[in-house]
Amino acid sequence: MIDQLIAPFFPNERLESYEILGSGLINKTFKVHLVGRASPLLLQEINTHVFPDAVALMGNFVELAAHLRRQANYPLGILDPICTLEGVSYFKDEHGAFWRILPFFEGTYSPEQLPNTKEAFEAAWAYGIFLKGVAGFPLAKLYASIPDFHHTVQRYKRFRDILKADIVQRATSAATEIAQVFEAEQYAIQVDQMLKNGQIPIRPVHNDTKAGNVLLSNATSKAVAVIDWDTVMPGSVLSDYGDMVRTFVSDRYEDAPAAELTIRKEVWEALDEGFLSATTGFLTKNEREYRDLGALWIISEQALRFLSDYLDGDRYYKTDYAEHNLVRARNQLALLAAVRNK
């Protein structure tokens, strides 16, 4: 099967070997080796349930890669899609599935969760460099792969509907968490108003700035590339900064019980230093000054998403036990409180 997927891109080359990569829930990913080719490649199926317009999505990749290539001083690797002989950046197989081939960055790793201070600095620096690199990309040409992804005010409207329906009768057991989520609604409202009145600019942003979406060198731990461009859409720098804080600074994974959760302050300081050093002369005064609001906003949004799914019968996130999403929501709410008290 894999050789048939490679053929439209490399009709004159043969598959030598392949291996399945990662445990991601969104896209199927393979590392492939072709006979006589020194560097491996990344073969990936696009999840069209999450990203229904694969053609437009790959249009983003092509245009963003070209935009970054035109910058002689862009220091990171670029996810430049390999095109078929017909000149398109994807292949649609006989079952209707969409596949793409991207560069594979050998000798790298993703710090995933709970990065150390050096990894936090490098990852945040890389995200800052990426944001600076795509800043001039025309918003009108950027396809929104997940509309309203960080439209948290809209998510609160949906939350109220879920709470009113209470289809699995869980609202009573989550009364404390529901109250805490509503208390945090102020952050979403504040950001929404700032975006509407132009206090915070709308830019091309990554929208999924977890540590696992940066590749670091095995040898030096220096940043090599920012990956996973599927969610690059118009948005706010505050969300990218906020999601870094959310996924970098806690002392435990988001599935862990939240008792006595603490912030790793040294990791946050390294994150902040890396991000600000990469975005000097690029961020506006408000983007710098309100970056902590971004953390409060995105952490509370994730708590809202976990709690919404818990009350709605666990339809979105994969769960391992009945209260899994409630535990996740409590974890995020504890992180929110720790950030707020920072």
pLDDT tens-digit series, residues 201-235: 999 999 999 989 999 999 999 999 999 999 999 99
Residue 154 sits at φ, ψ, to 5 deg, of -65, -40
Cα 23 from Cα 305, distance rounded (Å)? 21
Digit-coded pLDDT (tens) for 27-61: 589 999 999 888 999 999 999 988 999 999 999 99
Question: Any idea which residue has 């818990």 for tokens?
Answer: 310
| φ, ψ dihedrals at 210, nearest 5° | -75, 160
State the amino acid at position 71 in one-letter form: Q
Alpha carbons 233 and 25: distance in angstroms, whole number: 20
For residues 310 and 178, the answer to whether their CB atoms sit within 8 Å is: no
For 229-243, b where at least 16 C-beta lie within 10 A, e where not — what string?
bbbbbebbbbbbbbb
What 3-state class would DSSP assign to 259?
coil
DSSP structural state of residue 113: S
Q: How far apart are CA 125 and CA 16, in angstroms?
A: 36
Query: Which token pair is 84?
Result: 């078929």
Alpha carbon distance 329, 314 (integer Å): 12
Return the DSSP state at 40.
Answer: -
- The total of other beta-carbon atoms located within 10 Å of residue 150's CB is 25
Rg over CA atoms, the chain: 21
- At residue 257, the pLDDT reads 87
The tens place of each residue's pLDDT in the chain, 342 residues long, gives 898 999 999 999 999 999 988 654 445 899 999 998 889 999 999 999 889 999 999 999 999 999 999 998 999 999 999 999 999 999 999 999 999 999 999 999 999 879 999 999 999 999 999 999 999 999 999 999 999 999 999 999 999 999 999 999 999 999 999 999 999 999 999 999 999 999 999 999 999 999 899 999 999 999 999 999 999 999 999 999 999 999 999 999 999 887 779 999 999 999 999 999 999 999 999 999 999 999 999 999 999 999 999 999 999 898 999 999 999 999 999 999 999 998
Domains and CATH numbers, the chain: 2-104 (3.30.200.20), 117-340 (3.90.1200.10)
Residue 201: burial class (beta carbons within 10 Å; 0-12, 13-18, 19+): middle
